[in-house]
Amino acid sequence: MAGANAMPHAVLLSSPGLGHLIPVLELGKRLVTVHNFKVTIFVVSSRTSAAESQVIESSMSLKLYEVIVLPPPNISDLVDADATVVTRIAVLMREIRPAFSFAMSALRSLPTVLIVDFFGNESLEIADEFKIPKFVYFPSHAWVLALTIYLPILDKVVKGEYIDEEEALFIPGCRPVQPEDVVDPMLCRSDQQYFEYVSMGIKIPMADGILVNTWEELEPATLAALRDDKLLGRISKVPIYPVGPMTKATESIGSNNNLLFDWLDKQPSESVLFISFGSGGVLSKEQMTELAWGLELSQQRFIWVVRTPAVKSGDESFFTVGNGSNDIPSYLPEGFLDRTKNVGLVVSDWAQQIEILSHAAVGGFLSHCGWNSVLESIVNGVPLIAWPLYAEQK
């Protein structure tokens, strides 16, 4: 049995996707460097995203913590080919439980606490096998957490589709949600992603505490409601710990990006608009065309991260970010690159976002408003222009 003064050992579990992986890695880093924990991070990799693989490899090279990649289980017989991102991740994380439990048992140093991200909620019971405390890390903001844990009550109270409601949906102590602004899993109550989301709202409060990637001054009313026994505290019933802002640290400029940062160095202070729709966001061809014409006619300096246009939904690159082709001209207006070459840069698929936002030449950020991007914008003092695409971004 470990001595009373032994270093605590936290096991973290991350679901696939950069928007989930990066906050978990940063939490692990903080536990090691600030709180003197030993940390082991289990990552359920999509194995389909070059950018995700690069982040995992980079985290391993830090030697701050141990990173163990769990191969994704085959879920082809469990979900439809056109299943939503939420459904696919939820099923993946449910099916990974046996492998995760076995891998935890094989650790040389027994864990003293388990922290899972919100998609890993079904692995909370594994902590009971080890007789250790269990926590959920919610990498988004407190208002989405409030909506999530209140959803099981809305599920009982509201009879039809949420989008057909005539009045805003009430959340105790929090800003209400307008029917047209519900998160994607609430758009259709017969879709599997809705049932997965309701289940998430039921299971998250079963933890011993909830960590959320925000801070007191940013969301004081919502955090107060989550702790108030007369409001949402009667649902959560566990401590709420704001641990944000948890953002990715700046890294050295990669050799592939030297031209981009050389160009940025030559631009006036706060003169460049950075345009990026996160790790999963994609525009339609029509939207890309209109944005291109707007940039050209405005003569605004810009850096634009461009991906192959979406066919069905705005989150089509969630599992494939970093895999894009360099055939940019084929889906931009003819001659656009030549006509804007003196005022802007177009980057294929992926860019070092935190390094760009922290550059003195950047004065604005056109974003899908994923929470990682919002936090990075706030931390670097860069004003946002919002273009929400999917998930909780409205």
Active site residues: 20, 117
Cβ-contact 264, 356 below 8 angstroms: yes
- CA atoms of 218 and 240, how far apart (whole Å): 15
Q: Long-range contacts: 190-198, Cβ < 8 Å, 24+?
A: 191/84, 191/87, 192/79, 192/83, 192/84, 192/87, 193/83, 193/84, 193/86, 193/87, 193/90, 196/86, 196/87, 196/90, 196/91, 197/86, 197/148, 197/151, 198/151, 198/152, 198/155
Cβ-contact 46, 319 below 8 angstroms: yes
Q: How far is CA 239 from CA 39, 89, 113, 134, in A?
A: 22, 26, 15, 12
Bridge-based pairing state of the strands 38-44 and 66-70: parallel
- CA atoms of 68 and 281, how far apart (whole Å): 27
**SS3 state at 82:** coil
- CA atoms of 210 and 149, how far apart (whole Å): 11
Query: Looking up tokens 């949600």, which residue turns up?
Result: 177
- CA atoms of 38 and 48, how far apart (whole Å): 29
Query: Amino acid letter at 215?
Result: W
Cβ-contact 246, 375 below 8 angstroms: yes
Cβ-contact 8, 2 below 8 angstroms: no
Radius of gyration, alpha carbons of the chain: 21
Q: Which helix or strand (DSSP H or E) is residue 68 part of?
A: strand 66-70
- CA atoms of 116 and 42, how far apart (whole Å): 9
